[in-house]
Structure 1
């Protein structure tokens, strides 16, 4: 964890391990939801449209929760995704979706700058105008 002191406040930025644990918790939640959906479909023969809507909800879990405050993983690890220019505000839904899909596409390559930047921002944070902070 890196700490930066400004005139008004001290900011703490989570390390890669903390961010990875939060993402892993969120991946577990999505996986459990996916398995539950698969089992319900097997037992109850749910119509395909319900399956499609459910899959969209599972995929959108992280962007929606991030824009509203925090995912369960972020909450448990005491980290939050905020606007880089106003760390008291969450990122909006569009930025959150963009950040999430960029994170998926770039995968581990996105984390390279995290180890070299003072503010621990990854490529998907830089591109989406977000920053991850400890609370």
Structure 2
């Protein structure tokens, strides 16, 4: 079993990801402001890309913030394996639904898993190497 990621590392990773999404959204807004009559499909595509950032990156082990903090999201049954798209979507939906409340279970769970980790059968672990 790999070392479980700390709440502090998970919080730092989430903060990095939130800042990246804010910057990406601001950049997209600025870029689109230079064009007249931007098709709604373009705006929707950008929105969908920003929303799907986390679940897509998680199936490859982790988001940019996770990678910078040397943590990865893995299958709880086999922490050497990345999760699949279904687990990632379930995890994301419950993470959005419960918000920071989901993290309360870290204090009661010996493996420091959040509510969205428990529901999606995932674990967040620390890895030894960086990027």
Q: Which TM-score applies when normalising by structure 2?
A: 0.91
2:115 maps to what in 1? 123
SS of 2:72's equivalent? strand
Matched positions, count = 126
SS of 2:73's equivalent? strand
How far apart are residue 125 of structure 1 and its match?
A: 0.1
Distance 2:8 2:99 in 1: 15
Once the two structures are overlaid, the 10-residue window that deviates more, 24-33 or 120-129, is 24-33
Match of 1:106 among 87, 92, 98: 98
Point out which structure has higher relative CO (alpha carbons under 8 A, 6+ apart).
Answer: 2
How far apart are residue 43 of structure 1 and its match?
A: 1.2
Whether the 8 Å CA contact 2:2–2:79 is kept in 1: the answer is: no
SS of 2:124's equivalent? strand
- Structure 1 residue runs without a partner (length 5+): 1-9
1:36 maps to what in 2? 27
Is 1:89 matched with 2:81?
Answer: yes
What is the aligned-residue RMSD (CA, Å)? 1.1
Deviations 1:56-113 (A, max 9, x none): 0111011101101221100000000000111111111121111112111101110011
Is 1:58 matched with 2:50?
Answer: yes
Distance 1:54 1:95 in 2: 24
Distance 1:118 1:103 in 2: 20
Q: Which TM-score applies when normalising by structure 1?
A: 0.89
Distance 2:20 2:52 in 1: 12
